[in-house]
Chain A
Amino acid sequence: MSKEHTMATTLPQSTELLSLPHPQLVVQGEQALMWYLAASPSPQALSAVQFACTLLQQHCADDLVELVPAATSVLIVFDLLKTDHVTLAERIQQWWPLQLSHGQSLGQLVELPCYYAAEVAPDLARLASLHQLSIAEFIQCHSSTRYQVNAIGFAPGFAYLGDVPTTIATPRLATPRARVPKGSVGIAGVQTAVYPATSPGGWNIIGNCPIPLFDLSKQPVMPLSVGDTVQFVVIDRAEFLRLGGDITGWQL
């Protein structure tokens, strides 16, 4: 992975997070607790989710099996031999309201290179004309927006990024494709994402990111976390190839 395209910059920090009256902790299973941090998705909600995960990891790591952050919640899966719902909930309540201390940062800005061209993006021209934009205007719109990682799921390394400007938001394909090549950058509604592996998929493909989003040989295996900010950087064909991009992905 080339350094110049994944510069991680610390974003401005907020000092106070949400104004929910109390933490909403709900039993979710024999060894699971759901922590709702906000009623609806927002950048503040995501910051709170990320901060909640940090607190849990710092203070309860030994009791935890899994933490699954989402847009407004954190699923906490714990080891029932070590703790229980009540003990964990009491602990979490002590942290409320969440206060970020100075010096703590929320999320990183990650720049992802993207090659916007017909040979890797079968839907680029169609989407541009659908939105009555030139291809250059469409690319400008997608690449000048900063997106937040709202959730990671569906497949290993698949990050849901949002929101794309309404001027380029486009519903999913009516019929999903049987095969979308690895690295494809897609739009579905107001979300955008990079396909971390070749898979079936119904998103409109407008570009390709040559940097692997899920790489078992890397530590961490994924360069993004929920709450991070992503911006796509336009690259040309030569740079795409230099970074390991594959232009043959759509040829069978």
Chain B
Amino acid sequence: MSEFRSADSAQQRGFLIQQTHALVQVQDAGRRGFAKVGVTEGGWLDATSARLANALVDNPAEAALLEIALGGFSAQAQAECVVALTGANLPFTINGIAQSRYQRIQLLAGDVIHIGYANRQGARCYLAVHGGLQTPEVLGSRSTVLREQFSGGPLAVGQLLPYQASRVYGDLSLPYAWHYKHRRFRRLALVLGAQAELLSPLLASFSAQIYRVGPAADRMGVRLQGRALAMPSLNLISEGLCVGSVQLPPDGLPIVMLRDHQTMGGYPKLGALCRESQAWLGQALPGDFCQFELIDAAIAISKGRAFEAKLSAIEQQLRQQAGAWRV
């Protein structure tokens, strides 16, 4: 029950890619339950932006969309469809005309969508299309993990990203309060983990300093630059690694693991970042700054739940508004 109508068009329905690079990837909520065979979770780095993009086009929360890192993407719609762009504030045009993020947009067959290069206002934007991208599902997900070879692979110019054609009547947009606004400095909430006790002499110096996001930052993890901590020599047995883990390798500079993290690790870890802090690292550009702030596990849980409640409320509201425009 939706105002979206499937619109008939030529045989090829999808975005025909005209410009792209390795960091433009199909992502969804990620893979679950395969870490035990060494398969990482993958999935969008900034879950809030991605879910809002899906809600704007009346998709299920976990529908596959395009994660566009650093810009430099254009594609031509081969059939009419309804899209929304959220996340980092990158230059965004349709047929050369500037467009706003966080609104539902009707594209007609032949329209060209273009995302310009990132300035300093975040790294990743999310392009959702009504019905979701229909690329093949592997192990329950359409997420791309380049290193794992089996899930999609890099996109190429001339490739078609399939979707169902759709049409919508009326406007829908999200209030400014929900737009992603990148801050170049952020405090990152860290829940201490199993090796924190072994590393306790380093904690004061770790949490007092300001770190800079280094150039080695990708979907697997982000290396931070700062004063190196004097690492004790620890010989740990490899163990499972969760998303957001803050590893301290022997060089004493933290590496924060993001969604494409390896499933096992042997470096000592201080703990793991909360989701919102992970999302900021997914949006951070080299040269941005952060400082760690320790947070109690119980508080992290209640904050996580409160945020989820707020986010699902706005998703629901968007879907209801979508319904109000039904024709």
Contact = CB atoms under 8 A, between A and B. Distances in A.
Interface centre among B41, B138, B239, B300 (most CB of A within 10 A): B239
Contact of B37 (A70, A152, A197): A152
A73 B239 contact: yes
Contact of A69 (B240, B244, B298): B240
Contact of A80 (B33, B147, B262, B304): B304
B271 interface: yes
B47 to A, nearest CB: 13
Contacts of B262: 153-154
Contacts of A68: 35-36, 239-242, 263-264
A41 B242 contact: no
B149 A30 contact: no
Interface string B26-37: 000000111111
Contacts of A11: none
A151 B238 contact: yes
B40 to A, nearest CB: 8
Contacts, number: 140
B264 A81 contact: no
Interface stretch (B99-107, B169-177, B190-198): B190-198
B301 interface: yes
Interface stretch (A92-100, A117-125, A215-223): A215-223
Nearest to A75: B240
Contact of B264 (A26, A154, A157): A154
B144 interface: no
B148 interface: yes
Contacts of B264: 68, 70, 151-154
- Which 4 A-B pairs give the minimum distances between C-beta atoms? A75-B240, A68-B240, A29-B272, A153-B264
Interface of A: 26-32, 34, 36, 40-41, 53, 65-75, 77, 80-81, 84-86, 151-158, 197, 214, 216, 220-222, 225-226
29 contacts: A27-B271, A28-B272, A29-B244, A29-B271, A30-B273, A30-B300, A31-B301, A32-B242, A34-B240, A65-B33, A66-B41, A68-B36, A71-B237, A73-B239, A80-B301, A81-B308, A153-B38, A153-B262, A154-B38, A154-B264, A155-B38, A156-B34, A156-B38, A156-B150, A197-B149, A216-B139, A220-B37, A221-B139, A226-B36
